[in-house]
Amino acid sequence: MSIESREPVIQVGPGPASQPWIIPGPGPVIPPFPTETEPGPVIPPGQDIPRVKIKSLFSNAFIIVGYDEVLYAVGAIPQQGETFRIIPINNYQVKLRIVGGQFVRIDYNGALVADANKNNATIFNIFRTGYMEFSLMAPQGKYVNVRQRDNMLVARSEYAGPRTRFKFRMVD
């Protein structure tokens, strides 16, 4: 078989008119996002998630309060991580509070800081990404993610991704 007898892999210029492989027509409507990542009844009515440890799936570390009350994902074991109370506002919005401490807010740099009272606390949109796995979105439309250089939690990500996923672990 010589090279001249083979079909060209890439055709340059006009080619034969052929029917498309996928014929458009009536069919099921495919939503743009999987249902588990859409805002919706992430916290079903009546379900209480009283106390949790939050673990970053990106850095594989628990969330702690560090210098100047800023949140970092650096706790190696659950005992090092802070215990949070998830306070539902409605089915898809929550406030975060350190058990025995302050509420979480977003500062002017986008960092998550645990130094607010309940009136100044940030209300986050919460998105389910798996079983007890969630992403949080700040009011300005940015996802909370783990900054790579220092593992600080910041609300700066345009899109949900591996850095924006957190595992909530129930605490008794």
Per residue in 145-159, pLDDT tens? 999 999 999 999 999
Evaluate whether residue 17 is within a structural domain: no
| Cβ proximity of 110 and 155 under 8 Å | yes
- CATH for 154: 2.80.10.50
* pLDDT attached to residue 141: 94
pTM listed for this prediction: 0.72
The tally of domains found in the chain comes to 1
Evaluate whether residue 31 is within a structural domain: no
Evaluate whether residue 67 is within a structural domain: yes
Evaluate whether residue 40 is within a structural domain: no
Evaluate whether residue 58 is within a structural domain: yes
Evaluate whether residue 118 is within a structural domain: yes
What does the angle CA 138 – CA 140 – CA 145 come to, to the nearest 5 degrees? 40
Evaluate whether residue 150 is within a structural domain: yes
Domain range enclosing 153: 47-170
Evaluate whether residue 104 is within a structural domain: yes
Q: Which residues of the chain have pLDDT under 50?
A: 11, 30-37, 39-40
133 burial class (0-12, 13-18, 19+ CB within 10 angstroms)?
Answer: middle
* pLDDT attached to residue 32: 47
Residue 108: name the closest of 146, 156, 163 by CA: 156
**pLDDT (tens digit per residue) in 117-141:** 989 999 999 999 988 899 999 999 9
